[in-house]
A and B are shown apart, each in its own frame.
Chain A
Amino acid sequence: MAKHGIVLVSHVPEIAEGLTALLKEIAKDVSITFAGGTDEGEIGSSFDKISEAVANNEADEILAFYDLGSAKMTLDMVMELSDKKIHLLDAAMVEGAYTAATLAQGNTSLEDILNQIELLIVK
């Protein structure tokens, strides 16, 4: 299992699930967990789903990507209450997560991963 894991948070269940499928193609050894939509599976953010995605991630250190502001704020609150080491990245979600997954699969150092992601920060 790669050292760095990825957590994806989207307002839409299908986006989180679809992006996970894309990343798994290129990062088979990276722990990738996701949270999409509200508890009812509608569009929005769920504190419980995000908490679960963080708790179920098998990596020691997590890179987290999100789509829109309220997913970020909810993720923020989960991070405050979690003991895990999580880096919340304001990158373009698909490109950022894809870059991170590629590099994590190659066991690239955190510093190098973050340097690459830096180029994709959009929010």
Chain B
Amino acid sequence: MLTVENTKQWLFTFADKIKENASYLSELDQEIGDGDHGSNMVRGVEAMEEKLNESDSSDVSEVFKTAAMSLLSKIGGASGPLYGSALIGMAKSAGEDDQDLATLLQAGLEGIQKRGQAEQGEKTLVDLWIPVIEAVQNNTLTKESVQKAVEQTKPLKATKGRASYYGERSIGHIDPGAASSGYLFEALLESGVVNG
């Protein structure tokens, strides 16, 4: 069950993980992108932390919306509108009655797909969100299952996003967006919203 407190805790934990792993994310991005995923994400999550600390949101939907606008405004790369759309989708879903976590995450995934037009198997963050949502539905989400899903982007050939310019050469690298989303779901487990 999401509350204002544990949702904020989730997002703050996500921010910490992004900051801890910023250089790793940029390294992944250097292999098949422009090498700025780590620094872009850090700029976004720092703005998010600041806004979440300032705001006195009384509902979960507001918390997601505040996070969405910070990431959208500050990331500066493609991840800005993608994470922004995910969180706006989740904000809308959280505003409705009787929402469970899988439904909320599904709304996030739909936000990402609407914005980026990516399908499963194109080596994008969609390839992380789909198996994670399945695991949430089946109550099998663990840190290991998140990390496995991140690893599974490695053999894929990119057909969306900048990595697609590399064609066959994109094979054998973890997708940086899937890796940063992996931290979002590890944070979800650590903040106690779901028990892995």
A residues in contact (CB < 8 Å) with B: 38-39, 42, 44-48, 69-70, 73-74, 76-77
CB distance from A35 to the nearest CB of B (A): 12
**Residues A39 and B73 in contact, CB atoms below 8 Å apart:** yes
* Interface 1/0 per residue, B85-103 and A, CB below 8 Å: 1000000000000000000
Q: Which of B72, B81, B162 has the most CB of A within 10 A?
A: B81
Q: Are B72 and A47 in contact (CB under 8 A)?
A: yes
19 A-B pairs whose Cβ atoms sit less than 8 Å apart in the complex: A39-B73, A39-B76, A44-B77, A45-B76, A45-B77, A45-B81, A47-B72, A47-B80, A48-B73, A69-B162, A70-B78, A70-B80, A73-B78, A73-B81, A73-B116, A74-B81, A76-B81, A77-B81, A77-B85
Q: Is A69 within 8 A of B78, CB to CB?
A: yes
Contact assessment for B74 and A74 in the assembled complex, using a CB-CB cutoff below 8 Å = no
Instruction: Please give me the residue from chain A that is nearest to B72 by CB atom.
Output: A47
Q: Measured between C-beta atoms, what is the minimum distance from B47 to chain A in Å?
A: 10
Roughly how many angstroms separate A2 CA and B150 CA in the complex, as a whole number? 51
Q: Is B51 located at the chain interface by the 8 A CB criterion?
A: no
Interface majority SS (helix, strand, loop, mixed), chain B: helix
Q: Is the CB of A44 within 8 A of B81?
A: no
| B161 cross-chain contacts in A, Cβ below 8 A | 69
Residues of B at under 8 Å CB distance from A?
Answer: 40, 72-74, 76-82, 84-85, 115-116, 161-162
List the A side residues contacting B79 at CB < 8 Å. Answer: 70
Task: Return chain B residues, CB-CB under 8 Å to A70.
Answer: 77-81
**Smallest CB-CB A-B distances: 8 pairs:** A44-B76, A70-B78, A73-B81, A38-B76, A47-B73, A74-B81, A47-B72, A77-B81
